[in-house]
Structure formats: C-alpha cells, structure tokens
Amino acid sequence: MEIQYVLINFLLLVGILFLFARKTIIKIFRGRRERINTQLDEAELIENSAAPVLEEPVFEPIPFEESAELLQEKAEAEAKIEQIRSFGLRECSEIHRGMIESVRKQYYQVLKDEVRELFSKEPYLTLLRDKEMQMVDDILGMIKLTPGDMNYLRMHNVLYVTLTSAHPLEYDIIKKVDQATKDLLATVNGKTSLWIREDPELIGGLRLRIGDTVYDATVAEELYQLEKRVSREPITTDETARELLREFGDITNSFEPKVHTYQLGRVMQLSDGICWMDGIADTMYGEVVEFECGESGMVLDIQPDRIGCVVFGSYENIESGSRVRRVGRIASVPVGDSLLGRVVDAIGKPIDGEGHLYVREKRPIECHAPSILDRAPVSEPLHTGIKAIDALVPIGKGQRELIIGDRQTGKTAIAIDAIINQKGKNTVCIYVAIGQKESTIAEIKERLQKHGAMEYTTIVAATASGSAATQYVAPFSGTAMAEYFMYSGRDVLIIYDDLSKHAVAYRELSLLLHRPSGREAYPGDIFYLHSRLLERSAHLSDEFGGGSITALPIIETLAGDISAYIPTNVISITDGQIFLESDLFHEGQRPAINVGLSVSRVGGAAQTKLMKQMAASLRTKLAQYRELADFTQLGSDIDETTKKALDSGARLMEALKQNRYQPLEDWQQALLLFAVSEGFADGIALAQMDEFEKGLYAFFTGECAQLTEQLKTGKKADSELLSAVREALGEYVKRV
C-alpha cells in the first residue's frame, strides 16, 4: 500500500514540476534548435558564396546552324573575303612586275586584318575555342626541358611558366597545364610558377612559355609563319595569288592549330651595334636572332649569364627589355642566279632599288672549306686581260692572289678590269666592297654596266656608313654566294675590296665584345678569320663538279710597308701577291706593278704554253733593267751596251703600260711582249709604242689570219710557230 502512495506522490510531483517547468524546457530546446539552424544557415550562406569560386565556368558552344543571325553574319564575312580576293587577283595580274612588291604587301595586310576581324566574331570565335583542348594536348605532348632551362633551374630552382591566350581560358585547361608542367619539373626536383595572361594580339589559340621556350599554337603565329613564307615568293601571277589565298582560307575556314616552337630572350644592353641579351640560353654561335622591331642580329659571344650579338641594320629602334626571338638557323644569305646583276647588302638584301629579290635557296655565311681530297690542283688560267699580270704573275682558277699597295695606286682598277675581262668566259664575278664610299660603289656599278659586265656580277656592299657588323659579315656573305656557283660546277672570281678595312671592323667588334686584344690591338684570331675566309676559295676536283672560286683579296698598306701585321698575315695565307708601288704609279707606270716583289706561286702551271714560251725571259730582263737603271741613275757616262740594255728595258716597261678598261686577249699580250723582248721594237720611240702596239694587233688579225688563229688556241708554241711569228714580225716592222 505504501509503495502505491509513494508512486502516486512521485507522479503528482513530476506532474506539478512538468506543469511549471514545461515552458522553460521548451524554451531551452527551441533556443538550441534555433542556434543550430542559424549556424546551419550561416554555413550554407558561406558555402553558397564560395561556390562560384570552385564551380567551373559553364561554357556553352553556340550551335551556329540554329541562329539565323549568326548565319547572316558568316555570309557577310565570306562575301567580304570574296571581295578582297577579287581585288587582289585583278590588281596582281594587271600591275607591272616591278610594282608587284607593294601590291603584295598591301594585299597581305588586307587579308591579315580580315582574318583578325573574323576571328573576333562568332561563329569563328566558337570554332576556335572548341579546339583549345586539342591545342593544349598537342602542346603538352611536346614540352620538355632544354639545357638552358636546367641551367636556370640550378641557379633559381624555379621555372616560370606563362600561359597566354586571346580570351579567358577554361578552368580545365589551366588545371591541366599546371599539372603537366609541375610533373615535368618534378622529374628534376624543380618548381614551377604558373602565370595566366590574356593578349588579344594573339587573335586566337594558346601560347605556353616554359623558361625561354615558347610553344605557340596561335593564329598570330600562323600568320607570322605565312608572311615569312610569302616574302620568299613573288605574287606575280594569278596562280601564285590563288595559292596564297588558299593558305589564308585554310587559316580562316579550318584552323588546324600547329604548334611552333621557338625561344625568346630579352635585350639587356645595347651599345655601338652590340647587343647583350638575357635568355635564349640554348642559342648557337653564329645564329640569327630577330628583334621585335624587325631588325636581325648574329650571335657572336656566348657567356654563362649573357649572350652578345651584333646588330645588322639600324639599332636605334631596339629598346632595352624588348623581346628577341631565336630564328633557329645559322646566319645565311640568299644565293642563286637571280643575284647576278644586283647590288645587295651584307645580308643579301637588295639595295639597288630594283625591287624585291626572290630566292628559294640560302647558304650559311660560315661554311667549311673544301677538304684536300675535294680539291684539284690549279690548272686553268684566269685571264685578267692585263699584260703585266697575265705574263708575269699569272693567276689560275682556284688561286688566291693578293693585290697589295698604298692608297690610290690602282688596286681597285685591277680588280674591275679583271671582272670586265670575264665577259663571255662563263665566269661569275662577285665584288665585295668593305667600308667604301657609297659613291664609289655606284661608280663601279655604272662602269661594270657600261662594259656589259654587270649581268654576270653581284656587288655585295657594306659601305663605310654601315655598322662594323655588316662590314665584318660582307666577305663571308660574298663567299657563300660564290660557293653556290662553285658547287654547281661553275667558275667564280671574287674580289674582297679590301681586307684591311675588314680587319679594322673585326677589331672594333672584338673590342666592343670585351675580347682581349693582341698585336696592334687586333684580336688574337684575326689570322684565323682571314685564313678561314680565303681557304674557301678552291678548285674542286671533277668528281665534285670541277667548279672554282678564284679570290683577289685587296690589302692597303701604309707607306709601302708590307711587313705590317695584317699584310704579312694575308701574304702568308694567299698563293702570291701583286705589289703596287706609289712611286711607279706617279712615274706614270700604270698599272704600277712592282715586278720584283710580285709573285704568283701556283699560277705558272695554269699559263698557256704560248704565253709561257713567249714571256719566258721577261721577268729576268725586267729585273736586270731595274737594277741597271738604279745603278746608272747618277752616272752620266754610259757605254753603248749599257745604253742599249737600258733602252730595251725602258721599252719593255712601256709595253707593260695599259689603260683601264682595255683588257687584251692572251695571244695579243704574248705577241707584244715577245716582239718587244726579241728587239723588234728597238727602233721605235717610247712615245710611239702605243701606236706600234695597236698596229701590231691589226696587222696580225688582218694579214696573218691563219697564224693568228694558231696563236689564239695558245696550245702550241714550238720553234716552227715561233719562227713563223718572227717572220711576220719582221714584215710588220718593215712597214712601220
């Protein structure tokens, strides 16, 4: 019973307590629930506000078939392109060839602008964006670390990666690139730092830069490549114009991204035509680099932390910090037959105002000389048409004969005469002018043109107003052009006018590149510079086509000092020298060749039999005369025999005089010198020698035609022929 009461009491107590505390308990529970709810709400709010950051941007391609508006737009754009096409074709076929160049540029520019505009609008924009993922895959399939990157990593441990596009990129793409570059660098324990950029100049597509290397799959790059290709070929016919349009069409209609790879650097410092750069660490010695302003340069110095290059053309437009692009090939010049008749600068750009030069082939300016096995001995003569040279210091094809003398002694005159004499002899000529006045070059061109020699000649001009870099490169460019002909089996005559100025230009460059200077402040490798240039002149064996390069380098001396540094260098490299003397020149002996100091070490083998026979004793006779003349200069009392010897010597010297632009044939030279040295001209006054000479040629061609024919072949010179010549000469002398 008691338990019942206890239970009832307890329940009553609980009931009373519940009655009174219910409100408070409910209040407590509700408060807690509310707190949780507000916290949940807050969390949801935070989550919601964070969502756009994490969420992928939704990209919905616009199906252009569905949109009438877009279709309309596309049709309009295509109509516009068609309009441009018809403009280009009509213009191209109508306008004169010489004006094609400017039309080409215009035409190209119009098309380029059109592509740019098209890609900025739908539906092309969408088409392009659809391909972005594929581009990324293509690029990521190609990426690798270069030795330059490894070097950079060793020093900095981090490599900068930049992803640039014309429009904002999808998150997937960025994530993919980030992961791939991180993975790549993880293999060498390096880190990356990814930067995302937008650049409307790219028009469309993607560009990934890792360290110095750029993987470029943009429309802008595609256009750049097309422009390069187009500039090599003329748009002279409808067909070529159509081809260009096809290529443009390929870009606009079905842009298939190709990945172009190149390296970039940065201009650090620029002074006196020398540019120091940062980056492009994998560059090669002698490689071409391209500046943002369009100028080009050649790498000449590679140091651990910087690259030095020379700038061709004007360097005023190059800015510090601007980009430099590796072209990926060693400096080279255009070569081929179309260069004949043209005046070009040191890198092969035409400077004669006769229009664009379209050439497909190029050759590196520095190239290995033919090996010993590829060469054949000098065996064929290269006639200069100058009596004193062909008779006394004969030059053979493939020889290097130096022309050396003080200023204004007729060095250039000899070279130009030699070029003029190659007319109709199937020899190509290249005249390299280094550090000369522009007016001199213009005059030389005019002279050559007047004598019909320009059609087989190219002038490579690095004028005095140009930079040291162009003067340094010019002879190498000229040789590259000559090599093209030599390796295609032809004969070439190349003239370097002059190598003293070339040495000075190289000294300037070397000093600017902080290289240690040696004797007379010339760099230590100046000998090597000239020897590797002149070694490229050779006579190839028949197996290699039998072509040849004959070089006539010119050196200017000071006060006849041939033992100075550069003259001795070049004398030791060449196969002989023609020494011109100021005194002789002023005495009126022109060309002023000093017979005693001039030699040709290999040319004798190439002399024709006739010339060899007829001019055999000439050298000794002249030497004797010079000695005798010096000896008797002060004496007044001269005996009869000495007087006679002096007389015939003077006559011989007179016979060697020759005016400019009057080259003589081999047989004419041999005949005259034979006549004089055999004493047939003894009765002729010195002043009459000129007349005697002219009459002699006329007499032989007119009255001894058969004998002259024999002489012209130059192959036979036996006693029978010589006595026939003597007889004819006797006949001629009787008439004079």
Which residue(s) pair with 429 in the sheet? 457, 493
Instruction: Give the CA distances from residue 375 to residues 154, 333, 370, 371, in Å, rounded to whole numbers and listed in that order.
Output: 48, 24, 7, 7
Of all helices (H) and strands (E), which one includes residue 309?
A: strand 307-311
Q: Which residues contact 719 (CB under 8 A, 6 or more apart)?
A: none
Distance CA 77, CA 69 (A): 13
179 binds, among ligand ATP, Mg ion, none (CB under 5 to 8 A by kind): none
Least distance from C-beta 661 to Mg ion, angstroms? 15
Least distance from C-beta 661 to ligand ATP, angstroms? 9
408 binds, among ligand ATP, Mg ion, none (CB under 5 to 8 A by kind): ligand ATP
**413 vs 448, beta carbon nearer ligand ATP:** 413
Indicate the angle between helix axes 219-232 and 238-253, nearest 10 degrees. Answer: 170
Handedness of CA 319, 322, 325, 326 (dihedral sign): positive
Distance CA 674, CA 613 (A): 9
Report the residue from 591, 603, 649, 714 that binds ligand ATP according to the rule CB under 6 A: 591
Site membership for ligand ATP, residue 385 (CB under 6 A): no
- Spell out a b/e string for 76-87, using b for 16 or more CB atoms within 10 Å of the CB, else e: ebeeebeebbee
Site membership for ligand ATP, residue 39 (CB under 6 A): no
The site that binds ligand ATP (CB under 6 A) totals a number of residues, namely: 13
**379 vs 408, beta carbon nearer ligand ATP:** 408
Backbone angles phi and psi of 620, in degrees to 5: -65, -40
Report the residue from 590, 696, 711, 732 that binds ligand ATP according to the rule CB under 6 A: 590
| Angle, CA of 669, 376 and 665, to the nearest 5° | 15
Report the residue from 385, 410, 466, 553 that binds ligand ATP according to the rule CB under 6 A: 410
List the catalytic residue out of 601, 619, 626, 660. 601
Of all helices (H) and strands (E), which one includes residue 571?
A: helix 565-573
Site membership for Mg ion, residue 412 (CB under 5 A): yes
Least distance from C-beta 413 to ligand ATP, angstroms? 3
User: What single-letter amino acid sits at 528?
Assistant: Y
Report the residue from 311, 413, 430, 555 that binds ligand ATP according to the rule CB under 6 A: 413
Neighbouring CB atoms inside 10 A of 368's CB total 9
Distance CA 224, CA 216 (A): 11
* Chain residues 665-694 in contact with ligand ATP, contact rule CB under 6 A: none
Least distance from C-beta 494 to ligand ATP, angstroms? 17
The stretch among 250-258, 347-355, 471-479, 655-663 that binds ligand ATP (CB under 6 A) is 655-663
Q: What is the 3-state secondary structure (H, E, C) of 383-409?
A: CCCCHHHHHHCCCECCCECEEEECCCC
Site membership for ligand ATP, residue 407 (CB under 6 A): yes
413 binds, among ligand ATP, Mg ion, none (CB under 5 to 8 A by kind): ligand ATP
Q: Check residue 686 and report its DSSP letter.
A: G
Full DSSP string of 344-387:
E-TTS-B-SSS-----S-EEESS-PPPPGGGB----SB---S-H
User: What single-letter amino acid sits at 360?
Assistant: R
Distance CA 242, CA 247 (A): 9
**80 vs 407, beta carbon nearer ligand ATP:** 407
Report the residue from 345, 556, 575, 581 that binds ligand ATP according to the rule CB under 6 A: 556
Which residue(s) pair with 277 in the sheet? 267, 307
- Spell out a b/e string for 334-365, using b for 16 or more CB atoms within 10 Å of the CB, else e: bbbeebbbbbbbbbbebbeeeeebbbeebbeb
Least distance from C-beta 662 to ligand ATP, angstroms? 9
**Whether residue 97 lies in the annotated active site:** no
Report the residue from 263, 409, 422, 457 that binds ligand ATP according to the rule CB under 6 A: 409
85 binds, among ligand ATP, Mg ion, none (CB under 5 to 8 A by kind): none
**130 vs 443, beta carbon nearer ligand ATP:** 443
User: What single-letter amino acid sits at 417?
Assistant: D
Least distance from C-beta 411 to Mg ion, angstroms? 5
Q: Please, how many CA atoms are within 13 Å of residue 732, restricted to the half-sphere of its CB?
A: 27
410 binds, among Mg ion, ligand ATP, none (CB under 5 to 8 A by kind): ligand ATP
Of 225, 134, 236, 223, nearest in space to 176 by CA = 134
590 binds, among Mg ion, ligand ATP, none (CB under 5 to 8 A by kind): ligand ATP
Report the residue from 112, 326, 383, 411 that binds ligand ATP according to the rule CB under 6 A: 411
Report the residue from 660, 686, 697, 707 that binds ligand ATP according to the rule CB under 6 A: 660
The stretch among 120-128, 164-172, 404-412, 669-677 that binds ligand ATP (CB under 6 A) is 404-412
**310 vs 389, beta carbon nearer ligand ATP:** 389
Question: Do you find a cis peptide bond into 591, omega within 30 degrees of 0?
Answer: yes
660 binds, among Mg ion, ligand ATP, none (CB under 5 to 8 A by kind): ligand ATP
Site string for Mg ion, 364-403 (x = CB under 5 A): ----------------------------------------
* Chain residues 14-33 in contact with ligand ATP, contact rule CB under 6 A: none
**Residues with a known catalytic role:** 601
Residues that bind ligand ATP (CB under 6 A): 407-413, 556, 590-591, 658-660
Residues that bind Mg ion (CB under 5 A): 412
